[in-house]
Amino acid sequence: MADWQKITGGITAPRGYQAAGITAGLKPSGLPDLALIFSEVEAIAAGVFTTSQVKAACVEYCRQRLQAKHSARAILCNAGQANAATGTQGYLDTLETALAVGQALNISSESVLVASTGVIGQRIKMDALRSGIPKVVAALSETGSDAAGGAIITTDLVTKSIALETTISERPVRIGGIAKGSGMIHPNMATMLAFVTCDAVVSPALWQQMLARAADRSFNSITVDGDTSTNDSLIALANGQSRTPAITELGAEAEKLEAMLTAVCQHLAKAIARDGEGATCLIEVEVTGAHDELSARQIAKTIAGSSLVKSAIFGRDPNWGRIAAAAGRAGVPFEQENLQIKLGNFLMLKNGQPLQFDRAAASAYLKKATAGAYLQQDTVLISVNVGNGHGSGKAWGCDLSYDYVRINAEYTT
C-alpha cells in the first residue's frame, strides 16, 4: 500500500512554487519552447547529471552551481537547441541566460539553474531567448505546471507530469514533477530532463542522497535506444514551505519522503519509456534471484534495451530465446540452469529447460498491449529469475518500431 495519494497540479502542487511555459521562437515548429520554474523562497537543490564525457554547457554550469551552493530559486529550460558541443561560446550563452533570468526575477543569478534540450551542436538562438525571458517571468503562475511541462518537450508525443501528497507530522507534504524525453534515452546518472519540486523541510545532504537513489531506481533504469544524452539532468528542489519538522537524518519520515520521491521519479521515467520514439507499448522487466539489486537492475536493463527483444515485441512475437540471450550478455554471472523466463503469465523457460506454452495465447497477450490508450494494459511484463539470491530490480523500455527509424532518419534535415 502506497503511503501517498495522487493529486493534481504537477510541479506547482507543492506550496510556494510557480511555473510558466511560453513560445519564444526557439523551435522551428513555433510550439512552446521556454519554461521557467520558480520557488518563492530559496530551496534546497539537488541534481544528478549525464556521465557523458561530452557535456552540454548547461550541465557543466549546473554542476558547478550546485557544488558551490546546494540551493536555488529558479530553473530555466529551453527546448530546440541542446547547446552541447558548442565550445566556449555555448558556456557564455548559458552564463548570460542565468544573468538575464536573475535580473528579470530580481534574484541573484547564482540561484538560477539552466537546462537545454534539442539538437546537439547548435547554440541557443540568443536573440529569441533574450526577448523571451521577461515574457516567461511575466507568465509565472501557481497553476503553470502544464504550460512548463509542454514547453520542455521535443519529439515527445505527450507531456509527463505527476504530483503526490503524503502527511508528515499531520501536515501535508507534496512532491511534483515534470519530465521530457523520448529518444537518446539510456540515462547514466539521470534522464534527459526532469524537474521535481517538493515543499518538505529536508537537509541538503539527505535530499541529494535520496535523489541519487531514486534516480537509480527510475531514470537510470529506463532505456529507449541505448544512447545517453549530453544534456541529461534531473534537478529537485525542496523549499520547506510545508512547514513540517526538518528531516535531517534517516528514519521513518525520511523513508516516507524518499519513497514518495522514488514514486514520482518512477512515474516520470515510465512515462518517458512509454513515450519512446515510435513505441507502441511499455516493456517492464523484473529480475529476481540475483546477488544484489544492482546486478538485477543490470540484467533487467540489458533485456529492456535489446534491439532484438524490442523488435520481437513490436512484432508481437513471444520469442523468449532473445530474452535469454540478452540476460546472458548483461555482464552478470549466473548459472544458466537456474534461468526462468515468464512473459505475462506464460512460463516459457524453467531451470534452464524450455517449456511447452500456448504460443497463440502468448501472442494475443502481446497484442493486447498498445500504448495509445495509456491504460494499465499497455504494459508487457517480462519476469526473469536467475537464481536464489535476494537481489531484485526493475527496468523499463519500449518496443522498436518502423517509426523509431523514421523519426531518427529524418530529425535534422
Task: Report, as residue numbers or ranges, the catalytic residues.
Answer: 191
Residue with cell 544458466: 336
106 lies in the site for its own copies, by CB under 8 A: no
Least distance from its own copies to the Cβ atom of residue 333, Å: 6
Looking at beta carbons only, is 103 or 155 nearer to its own copies? 155
| By CB under 8 A, residue 363 contacts its own copies | yes
Q: Does 345 bind its own copies (CB under 8 A)?
A: no
* Interacting residues with its own copies between 131 and 150 (CB under 8 A): none
> Looking only at residues 26 through 65 of this chain, which bind its own copies when binding is defined by CB under 8 A?
51-55
Cβ–Cβ contacts within 10 Å for residue 247, how many?
A: 24
Q: Which of 319, 381, 389, 392 is in the footprint of its own copies by CB under 8 A? A: 319
Query: From residue 82, how far is each of 87, 91, 110, 233, 339 by CA, in Å?
Result: 12, 12, 21, 12, 43
Assess contact for 27 and 139: CB atoms under 8 A.
Answer: no
Q: Name which of residues 186 to 245 contact its own copies (CB under 8 A).
A: 186, 188, 225-230
User: Do 282 and 270 contact (CB within 8 A), yes or no?
Assistant: yes
Residue 319 CB, nearest distance to its own copies (Å)?
A: 5
Residue closer to its own copies, measured from CB, 256 or 316: 316
Residues 64 to 103 in contact with its own copies, rule: CB under 8 A: 82, 84-88
> If binding is defined by CB under 8 A, does position 255 make contact with its own copies?
no
Which positions ≥6 away from 108 have C-beta within 8 Å?
102
The verdict on 334 binding its own copies (CB under 8 A) reads yes
Q: Return the residue of 2, 41, 119, 157 that touches its own copies, per CB under 8 A.
A: 119
CB 295 to its own copies: min, Å = 11
Give all strands (DSSP E) within 54-190, no chain letters.
71-81, 112-119, 160-168, 171-180
Based on the shown chain and the rule CB under 8 A, indicate whether residue 170 belongs to the binding site for its own copies. Answer: no
Our finding on whether 333 is near its own copies (CB under 8 A) is: yes
Q: Report the candidate in 385, 251, 399, 238 with the shortest Cα–Cα distance to residue 316.
A: 399
CA 412 to chain centre: 24
Distance of alpha carbon 293 from alpha carbon 273, whole angstroms:
21
